[in-house]
Structure 1
Amino acid sequence: MKRMMGLLLSLALMTVLAVGCSNNTERQPENTPAENDVEAAAEVKQEEKIHTKVAAPSGAPTLSMIKMFKENPSLGENVEVSYESVKSPDLMASRLMSSEVDIAVVPTNLAANIYNKGIPYQLAASNVWGVLYLVSSEDINDWNDLKGKEIDTIGRGLTPDIVLRYLLSSNGIDPEKDVTLNYLGEATELASAFIAEKSKISVIPEPVLSNVLMKKADTKVVLNLQEEWAKTTNMDSSYPQASLIIRKDIIESYPEFVEAFLKEFEESINWANDYPAEAGIYSEELQTGLNSQVVEKGMERSNIKFVNAIEAKRAIETYLKILLEYSPDIVGGKLPDDDFYFKK
């Protein structure tokens, strides 16, 4: 498994000086070669840098750390951090499987999946708490009004599909018999179809939804699937759609850096919520694919908030258990054990 370039080497500093047992009692020089080696090694150690790669999928996950992406704040002496917004889910998964990325925001089920495969990451916090909304150009007031309707959505067999199917079933609607689910390739394709009135009812995620609302004035946000999830599961929060994971060797070797990163990450999330217009400007400047107006209007519905792993654990386990029941492979075949959760 690849190891991050520039991690501090574990130096064995040998300080035992060879003093013979002969009758020669001459005093050793004040600076022996061994002592000089120790001093040189210490200087090298001080000069070495921690090079850390941070990645997040485009969309709400990148917005959660957009301030860090733009400002690249200092996280300690001799620490260098590079940030990347990854557009391809397959590319992100590949980099995690090979441990090329040190810290990443990923779908929570992917975090569980790679952990269950023995890839040494720990979940440090959950930061995106669902972005799915059922919208319509028709008069839909509740779940019962969906019976007999066609619903366009994305991600067949993936988390958006499972969340929708779970909520339909929990509200007395058979996804196989009472509605017709049509799957499009991606959110932008879904949005285009709805704007062009080729779709009457769709499940559209933020921040794409904001673009739809700006371009199609008669769009009605019928159901907030995050609120429906909380009601259905009797939770006081939505589902933790995305979470921050950190390589375990970094957690163990550099606790001060990890603490500084998590503090800055939480501040970045709070800043984005407090200053959505500025977050939108940053997003546009960094060419994330989201223009400033879409980010500003969609921030509130993006449900970005920082919850550390221990506080989020119950919500995470509830979410993963439901995903496991629908599709075991999506979480790696089992619920992760307690070591999955980073403890300060």
Structure 2
Amino acid sequence: MLNGEEILLPFGPGEMPEVVLRILMKKHGLSFMPRHVGSALEAVGMLRSSRAKHAFLVEPAAGKAISALGIQIDAAGNPLRGCLDIRALWAETFPQSPYMPLGALAVFGSLADSREALTAIRASYVEGVIHAREHPRMALETTGVVFPVLGRSLEGMGVERVCDIHIMDSDHAAMMVTFFLTQLLEVSPASIGGRMPGEGFLRLSNARH
């Protein structure tokens, strides 16, 4: 359905969402015509006015587009038709590395030399993620209190989708990061500086666990 079609991209050429889309399309033997637009709001407007048929949106814009276009969702907040969840598509396409590594917890400066501080930070982070997954609505409400602008942008989204966070140990994370970087290198070498990082890049996460 998407092969050869125009897809709206509300971000600059070569940015990570576009590169990820190119990786997935290439893996499935598909191509597309990118059309870069100024913002997610513009993309949603073009979809609503039938000036475009497809757009690649990231949250929270994707959730707002689903609401604006009247697309029905199930109890978990997943669209019933007309939408592809890139996370689910990535897991289906690459079962050997089903999660995209989207974030890492890094500590710099003198604090990085304190094993006690690192242990406390890591334990607190893990505890927070577990709590958010078990109590997603409470987590969203807390977000709205601490970060009002972010909280408002997340309104109307399925709480399970917002709090779908996974924590990995260093060995699994290193494997998935390596796989992800390999895919980026194949499709867009410039996105990672033209070459894979040295071994020290991944050993850094193991040094101070």
* Structure-1-length-normalised TM-score: 0.50
Superposed displacement of residue 207, structure 1: 2.4
Amino acid at match of 1:158: E
Distance 2:48 2:151 in 1: 18
Superposed displacement of residue 208, structure 1: 2.1
Unmatched runs of 5 consecutive residues or more in structure 2 = 73-80
| Contact 1:323/1:331, CA 8 A, preserved across alignment | yes
| Contact 1:281/1:291, CA 8 A, preserved across alignment | no
Would you say 1:212 and 2:49 are equivalent positions? no
Q: Which residue of 1 aligns with 2:169?
A: 308
Distance 2:160 2:149 in 1: 15
2:16 to 136, 140, 159: 159
Q: Relative to 1, partners in 2 of residues 1:281 and 1:326: Cα closer, same or farther, differing over 3 Å?
A: same
RMSD: 2.6
Q: Relative to 1, partners in 2 of residues 1:291 and 1:267: Cα closer, same or farther, differing over 3 Å?
A: same
Distance 2:38 2:104 in 1: 24
Per-residue CA distance 1:294-335 (angstroms, 9 max, x = gap): 275254256322223332111111111111223333223332
Superposed displacement of residue 212, structure 1: 2.0
Would you say 1:335 and 2:192 are equivalent positions? no
SS at match of 1:180: strand
Superposed displacement of residue 225, structure 1: 2.0
Superposed displacement of residue 151, structure 1: 1.3
Amino acid at match of 2:24: L
1:187-198 aligned at under 5 Å gives the runs 187-198=40-51
Runs of 4+ in structure 1 off by over 6 angstroms are none
Q: Which residue of 1 aligns with 2:135?
A: 275
Larger CA Rg, structure 1 vs 2: 1
Amino acid at match of 2:194: G
Q: Name the count of aligned residue pairs.
A: 195
SS at match of 2:125: helix
SS at match of 2:167: strand
| Contact 1:283/1:292, CA 8 A, preserved across alignment | no
| Contact 2:8/2:54, CA 8 A, preserved across alignment | yes
Amino acid at match of 1:171: H
Per-residue CA distance 1:213-272 (angstroms, 9 max, x = gap): 222213734322222223333424221122222226533x21111111111111212222
Q: Which residue of 1 aligns with 2:119?
A: 259
Superposed displacement of residue 205, structure 1: 1.5
Q: Which residue of 2 aligns with 1:168?
A: 25
Per-residue CA distance 1:66-115 (angstroms, 9 max, x = gap): xxxxxxxxxxxxxxxxxxxxxxxxxxxxxxxxxxxxxxxxxxxxxxxxxx
Distance 2:54 2:173 in 1: 32
SS at match of 2:174: helix
Amino acid at match of 1:276: P
Amino acid at match of 2:102: Q
Distance 2:41 2:103 in 1: 20
Unmatched runs of 5 consecutive residues or more in structure 1 = 1-144
Q: Relative to 1, partners in 2 of residues 1:302 and 1:150: Cα closer, same or farther, differing over 3 Å?
A: farther
What is the identity percentage for the equivalent residue pairs of Structure 1 and Structure 2? Answer: 22
Higher strand share: 1
1:43-192 aligned at under 5 Å gives the runs 145-155=1-11, 156-173=13-30, 175=31, 179-192=32-45
Distance 1:290 1:191 in 2: 20
Higher RCO, Cα 8 Å, sep 6+: 1
Per-residue CA distance 1:171-221 (angstroms, 9 max, x = gap): 111x3xxx3221123434433433444332111212222222222213734
